[in-house]
Amino acid sequence: MASRFSKCNSCAKTNIISGDVGSAETFSSLRLLMLLWCMDTDNESVVQCYYCENSCDSCCCGKRLEVFYQTTQKLYELQFFQTVVGDVPINVAQDVVETYVHDYCKGNFEAPLLDDLRSWLEKTVIAWLSSFYYNNSNSEKAGSECKARLLNILYEAFAEVRMEQLFDIIIEFPESQAALEDLKEVLEITNLRSKLISSLKASLENRLLHPGVNTSDILTAYISAIKALRVLDNTGVVLQVVSEPVCRYLRSREDTVRCIIFSLREDSCGELACELLKGVSVKLEDTYQNDEEGDNWEKWSPDPVDADPAKTTESQRSSDIIGILVNIYGSKELFVNEYRSLLADRILTTFSYNTDKELRYLEMLKLRFGESQLHCCEVMLKDIADSKRLNAHLNSGEVKTYEQGQSFYQRLVNPNSSQTSFGEFASLMLR
């Protein structure tokens, strides 16, 4: 290992001076030199050099670094540095940054990492590249340009890693909110939103939208995506574009409406059950703009340039998740009919008159869908309540029985009693 390292360093020095900066040996040597710079040499627990595998006492890596910097200084003095070396140091730094970011962000969604990465970049990579420019008349300008390029490299590498992990980040929301906030900051700096949308749509189609996933699991993931993408993009454009294939696939499933209604039930203790408790009225997508245009005109903001002009993102900005799910079909009637069918099944299969829970649930649904839509369900529950009251009255022992006697019986069956008036007959029935 030590001989290989020495050979690479000698090749690096020869190739830089001769101008052969495109060789693989030069790139590899510069990368090793950079890693040596980034190594924690002050750590007393280190007894062996990681790169030459020699003990710290016999390691010559520090001397090789010194020779390398002396060579770069000579190139500066001869004004050959930029011509000979070019962008090789930046390319080496990019390779190291991408590798470090990928390893550092792997599986870590709960803590913010962007500040730590910027600090690492400043202390290691930027410091290493700055060493190329000391005693140079343009060192300050070159250093600032170098720092800007490296920060852009860091942001792009971080965005690439997080875009690959975005599906898992969405599934783990809200525990992964820190990762989304970091990604949001990076997207505001870089121009990678369209790439993120394409990547997320592909991940959803490959991992979620196929027959092997239950409809309830798809709905759970979609609800998490709604909440997570609001943190990532408050304009609603990303959610609007990404949700199109999800909504289209949910419409193709026969049990989607039933799963939504079942998830809305109070005893399910799920995301939608908690949303139902908020009591916000459901608005169809074509009514958002008209209803809010006059009330919130001071807070109005136009849709981004990459938004679909044929659709409004106002519904996607809304905090009403139930309204977004209803807008999958664009009609409340399907959900009302499904709830009516589900309520009828529960009434027929439950041998009990206790409808208190159903009444509370119905009242919350009336706030969402309107009283007129659910009038038939209200009648069903009223019939159960009336049946309960009538049955309790009949079994209470307080119901008066009709007096039956010979005179009463004879009057009904005796032909001679045909002249009995209707008033007399009615009085007999009421005795």
The model's pLDDT over 338-394, given as tens digits with 9 standing for 90+, comes to: 888 888 888 888 777 788 888 888 888 888 888 888 888 888 888 888 888 888 877
Q: How far apart are CA 88 and CA 90, in angstroms?
A: 5
Range of the domain at 389: 331-395+424-430
Length of the chain equals 431
In this structure, the answer to whether residues 212 and 318 fall within a common structural domain is yes
**Confidence band (pLDDT; 50, 70, 90) for 319?**
low
Could you tell me if residue 367 is inside a domain?
A: yes
Q: Which of 330, 363, 386 is the last residue of a domain?
A: 330
In this structure, the answer to whether residues 196 and 254 fall within a common structural domain is yes
Q: How far apart are CA 242 and CA 199, in angstroms?
A: 10
In this structure, the answer to whether residues 379 and 254 fall within a common structural domain is no
In this structure, the answer to whether residues 378 and 322 fall within a common structural domain is no
Compute and round to an integer the Cα radius of gyration of the chain.
38
pLDDT attached to residue 167: 96
Q: Which of 296, 330, 364 is the last residue of a domain?
A: 330
In this structure, the answer to whether residues 320 and 197 fall within a common structural domain is yes
pLDDT attached to residue 293: 47
Q: What percent of the chain has pLDDT over 90?
A: 29
In Å, what is the CA distance from 278 to each residue of 226, 271, 384? 17, 12, 28
**Confidence band (pLDDT; 50, 70, 90) for 271?**
confident
Could you tell me if residue 417 is inside a domain?
A: no
The helix/strand count (H/E) of the chain reads as 23, 0
Could you tell me if residue 385 is inside a domain?
A: yes
Could you tell me if residue 258 is inside a domain?
A: yes
Number of domains in the chain: 2
pLDDT attached to residue 144: 77
In this structure, the answer to whether residues 372 and 341 fall within a common structural domain is yes
Could you tell me if residue 103 is inside a domain?
A: no
Could you tell me if residue 84 is inside a domain?
A: no
In this structure, the answer to whether residues 227 and 317 fall within a common structural domain is yes
In this structure, the answer to whether residues 372 and 265 fall within a common structural domain is no
Q: What percent of the chain has pLDDT over 70?
A: 62
Could you tell me if residue 29 is inside a domain?
A: no
Q: How far apart are CA 137 and CA 133, in angstroms?
A: 9
Could you tell me if residue 370 is inside a domain?
A: yes
In Å, what is the CA distance from 20 to each residue of 13, 23, 67, 79, 84? 10, 6, 19, 17, 8
In this structure, the answer to whether residues 318 and 383 fall within a common structural domain is no
In this structure, the answer to whether residues 326 and 337 fall within a common structural domain is no
Helix orientation angle between 215-232 and 177-189, rounded to the nearest 10 degrees: 50
**Confidence band (pLDDT; 50, 70, 90) for 400?**
low
In this structure, the answer to whether residues 221 and 326 fall within a common structural domain is yes
Mean pLDDT to the nearest integer, 191-200: 93
pLDDT attached to residue 120: 92
In this structure, the answer to whether residues 204 and 229 fall within a common structural domain is yes
pLDDT attached to residue 396: 73
User: What is the DSSP secondary structure assignment for residue 136, as one 8-state letter?
Assistant: -
pLDDT attached to residue 19: 37
Asked whether residue 72 carries a pLDDT value surpassing 90, the answer given is no
pLDDT tens-digit map of 137-181: 555 666 677 888 899 999 999 999 999 999 999 999 999 999 999
Does residue 276 or residue 302 have the better pLDDT? 276
Does residue 273 or residue 24 have the better pLDDT? 273
